[in-house]
Amino acid sequence: MNIGTLIISINRASLFNITANTRCITFSLIDKCICIRVTTYKPVDEYEKDLYFSIAAEVEGDFIDLKCEIKIVQSTLSITDVTKGKNTTYAREE
């Protein structure tokens, strides 16, 4: 698995699926699972959850031999702390 291809896939899937509440999107590849983590400023509503799960579904469609999971986390840590040591495809600090 090429990490660059995975980053492009997650970025493409994220288009029009990121709200102002989204702080960052990071991912890891563990065995045959793409684990996407969305960090938000505040709790998410059902609409936002649907958007984030759409990202996972689109990425999973690009890599049919891999499973894709999404985790949504609210955090007030600095963006540097949230993304440290992780593959980051999107980050915003206000």
Can you give the CATH number for the domain in which 84 is found? 3.30.70
pLDDT at 91: 93
Q: pLDDT confidence of 94, banded at 50, 70, 90?
A: confident
pLDDT at 85: 87
pLDDT tops 90 at residue 1: no
pTM: 0.91
Domain tally, the chain: 1
Span 23-46, average pLDDT: 95
Tell me the angle at which helices 3-14 and 46-62 cross, rounded to the nearest 10 degrees: 140
Closest to 35 in 3D by CA, of 74, 77, 68: 68
Span 13-21, average pLDDT: 94
Cα separation of 68 and 33, whole Å?
6
Span 6-29, average pLDDT: 95
pLDDT at 93: 83
Domain interval for residue 42: 3-91
